[in-house]
Amino acid sequence: MNNDKKLQMRKNMENVIIAFLYIGWLLMPILCVIFCLNLVSILKKVKNEEKTTVNTAWLTISFTLIVWSIAMIASAGVY
């Protein structure tokens, strides 16, 4: 692989990390609130034996974004 391609790949990775830094700083509080509210809602619905499909989907999406953002921010220290 030549140096131009390596440089371009590095710049692309830096842009991805910057995007996740913004998600981590700006959206993380919102994602955490969404996660907690959906978790409480799921627990109440399970107790009353109601459907939890929508809340489970939102809980999964918010948890995935939280964990992925933390992992990407941690990997920024490698570069």
Residue closest to 19 by CA, chosen among 53, 69, 59: 69
Q: Are 42 and 56 in contact (CB under 8 A)?
A: yes
Q: Determine the Cα–Cα distance for residues 45 and 48; give it in Å rounded to an integer.
A: 5
Average pLDDT per consecutive 10 residues, the chain (79 residues; last block may be shorter): 82 83 85 95 96 96 90 74
Q: Are 23 and 69 in contact (CB under 8 A)?
A: yes
Q: pLDDT value at position 8?
A: 86
